[in-house]
Amino acid sequence: MFSHFSRLCLCATLFCGLSTSAFAAQDQGTTYALDPVVVSARGVESTLSQTPGGVGVVDKEEIALSPKASIADALSRIPGVSKTGESPWGQDVNIRGMRGTSVVFLIDGKRINTATDINAQMGFINPSDIERIEVIKGPISALYGTGSTGGVINIITKKGHFSSTPEMHGELSGTWSSNPEGTDSYGRANYNAERFWLQLSGGTRDHMSYYGGENLMENSQFEDIQGRINGAFRWTDELTTEFQAMVLEGNDIGIPGGSKSMPANAPVTYPRIGSSLVSLDTTWTPKNGALKELLASLYYSLNDRRVRIDNPMPPVLKITPNASHETVGGKIQGRWQLGEHQLVSGFDAWKWHMRSWRSKYLRNGHILEDQPTPNTTQLSLGLYAEDNWKLNEAWTLNLGARLDRVNMKNHETPQYEEGQSNDWGWNAHAGLTWDFAENWSQTFIAATSYRVPDIMDRFKNIKLGSATIKGNPDLDPEQSFFLEYGLHYNTGNLRLSGSLFHNLVSEYITEGATADPNVFQMENVGEAQIYGAELEAKWFFAPGWSTYATLAATHGEDRNEDEALRNIAPLNGLLGLRYDHSTGFWARVETPWAAGQSDVPEGMETVDGYMLVNAAAGYDFDLWKLQHSVSLVLNNILDTRYENYLANSRGMELEEPGFCAAVTYAVSF
């Protein structure tokens, strides 16, 4: 392993050497602090400074430079978004104190339903297949139904395009990283023509367990393989159909840490996990009339989770809890231009069916079978509308509303009676954008939202050693009232954005104690209050040079118990310096940091703060009519030992990865 001094010298050599080479060239080029554009919040393109409510974007370059091309690490660059923990594969994120079933997860706008007690959903797609990710922070959009009280994550994949002349494009990339040691590979090829385009892509990842400092985090290894085909056909100049089919399979995915209720030698592993997504979208864009676009969408998603717990407790040799999550969904959505009103409205529906089974293998050779969660179906039907109303040159009003009907049916098991529930839900918001001066804008939004308890909230029956976590069929929906104010400034070389938010959640759903100290049950606990502030800045202060920073402060409290909420990230931020040159050289140094978290509920341990030093450098060049790219990324150069307060490792204290070097070579045409 490198010494601290060696890593610092390597970092300095990379940055200074590449910067000096770039300065030797005459053409410095020009770069601008562009205002990020998002589509997910309103259904139409809108810049961050013109969108009431918190939004964020990360692109494919940031994803590629994140540790192990990690989606969660890339998203944590957005202020207010923090990675949680567990396995490096499929890590989840926390959005302003909300996570799991309070955050809707989408791939190309298609809802992915699965259990969230042990992270997985962000592992259902290879990170190299992603074009960008858009994040909605809070219940600020009517386009999404139950579960969006905490926000929405929409992963947008790479696609082809229509071309007036036939053309071929492709890319190949390979990465080796030292911690966790292993390789990533990815390939993509697409053919574009005037009336159709077709794309094939695939990737593999294979990594060993990682080191936190000098300590090996046992059972944190993972491997997976993904294949995808997608394409589109233009029937006429106004009618287009797009399709995709994606399959991913993971094997021997370790969940480090086990459980405090289990012996230390009881590892939890996904021996196999599979995910598939098939979708079909048809879009009509008439050239005349008020209707600008009509979209009809259908999709099918299947997620299989196979879990193995070895040596849980005598006389059990192993336990294999398994579940499959099948979702069928679709929507019809129109976009209209009615004078100064830009209206998006539609109807969507999705049906989630979950079945589970569990086997216990005893040391005497017997096998016990049971069903921890009843086979259950959840059906959601929703009507929604978003209206962007341009009042004048300075003022824009955004209004949104949604009405949902959620039905749930479960079969009978020894733990649960056969039952059915029906819930009506609604949400609404009003947002305002004021361009009060040149380059300045203010945004404000007030929103109300809800979350109907899902299948896992109502019917889970998870036994981890001596502890059991049970669902509650009688849970009431969560209700949320949300406020946010934003102030934005954007010129050609400087972008500043700040926000203040407040989220009051009533009938907050969490795990509660029962008369049996070894049994916990989901329950409504009254009111939770979450509020905070976020800042983001990017400044191009000299040709090729930029500096950037983020800051996020969040506070959450259980108002009934007068104590801190469990899943609140500490004060955290990022400070970075980057150099880019038109000749293809670039380099950057960053210091992500987090303060200690001492504001914790009773029974939870505090966590110390940390500051890391990361660096990256690369060179993009053309050779033999191909575009080449080589990069070196150095994360945690000082090999700092630290813990993530939000790591949901079932009570274990896991260290985050220590020093890691990753080398990537990519070629495209």
Percent of the chain with pLDDT over 70: 91
How confident is the model over 490-514, as a mean pLDDT?
89
Taking the C-alpha atoms of 79, 629, 37 and 133 in order, what is their torsion angle to the nearest 10 degrees?
A: -60
329 CB-side CA count, 13 A: 28
**In whole angstroms, what is the distance from residue 79 CA to residue 55 CA?**
10
pLDDT band of residue 652 (cuts 50, 70, 90) is low
How confident is the model over 159-176, as a mean pLDDT?
96
**In whole angstroms, what is the distance from residue 36 CA to residue 47 CA?**
6
pLDDT, one tens digit per residue, over 305-314 is 898 988 877 8
pLDDT band of residue 20 (cuts 50, 70, 90) is very low
| Residues contacting 205, CB < 8 A, separation 6+ | 68, 69, 89, 126, 182, 183, 184, 222, 223, 224, 225
How confident is the model over 389-415, as a mean pLDDT?
92
Q: Are residues 213 and 658 in contact, defined by beta-carbon separation less than 8 angstroms?
A: yes
**In whole angstroms, what is the distance from residue 89 CA to residue 140 CA?**
29
Percent of the chain with pLDDT over 90: 62
Residue type, 656: E
pLDDT, one tens digit per residue, over 247-300 is 999 999 988 865 443 445 567 889 999 999 999 999 999 999 999 999 999 999
Residue 510 clears pLDDT 50, i.e. is over it: yes
pLDDT band of residue 8 (cuts 50, 70, 90) is very low
pLDDT band of residue 370 (cuts 50, 70, 90) is confident
CA end-to-end span of the chain: 37
**222-234 vs 215-216, strand pairing mode:** unpaired
Phi/psi at 182 (5° precision): 160, -175
Residue whose token pair is 């009618």: 239
Residue 16 clears pLDDT 90, i.e. is over it: no
Question: Closest Cα to residue 302, out of 331, 275, 322, 333?
Answer: 275
How confident is the model over 524-550, as a mean pLDDT?
94
Question: Closest Cα to residue 507, out of 539, 486, 479, 465?
Answer: 479
Provide the mean pLDDT of the chain: 88
Q: 87 or 126: whose pLDDT is higher?
A: 126
**In whole angstroms, what is the distance from residue 500 CA to residue 590 CA?**
25
Ranking 22-36, 55-69, 73-87, 550-564 by mean pLDDT, the lowest is 22-36
176 CB-side CA count, 13 A: 0
Q: With H, G, I as helix, E, B as strand and everything else as coil, classify residue 78.
A: coil
Q: 162 or 117: whose pLDDT is higher?
A: 162
Question: Closest Cα to residue 20, out of 634, 601, 659, 585?
Answer: 585
Q: Are residues 232 and 190 in contact, defined by beta-carbon separation less than 8 angstroms?
A: no
Rg for the chain, CA atoms, rounded: 25
How many C-beta neighbours within 10 Å does residue 453 have? 28
Beta bridge partners of 646: none
pLDDT band of residue 612 (cuts 50, 70, 90) is very high
Question: Closest Cα to residue 426, out of 149, 154, 152, 150?
Answer: 149
How confident is the model over 556-561, as a mean pLDDT?
87
The pair of structure tokens assigned to 296 is 């009809």
Total domains in the chain come to 1
The CATH code of the domain that includes 531 is 2.40.170.20
Burial (Cβ within 10 Å: 0-12, 13-18, ≥19) of residue 518: exposed
Residue type, 270: Y
The pair of structure tokens assigned to 206 is 């294979």
pLDDT band of residue 17 (cuts 50, 70, 90) is very low
**In whole angstroms, what is the distance from residue 595 CA to residue 108 CA?**
35
pLDDT, one tens digit per residue, over 183-195 is 999 999 999 999 9
How many C-beta neighbours within 10 Å does residue 350 have? 20
Residue 380 clears pLDDT 80, i.e. is over it: yes
Residue 476 domain boundaries:
4-668
Question: Closest Cα to residue 49, out of 641, 538, 572, 552?
Answer: 538
pLDDT of residue 13: 43
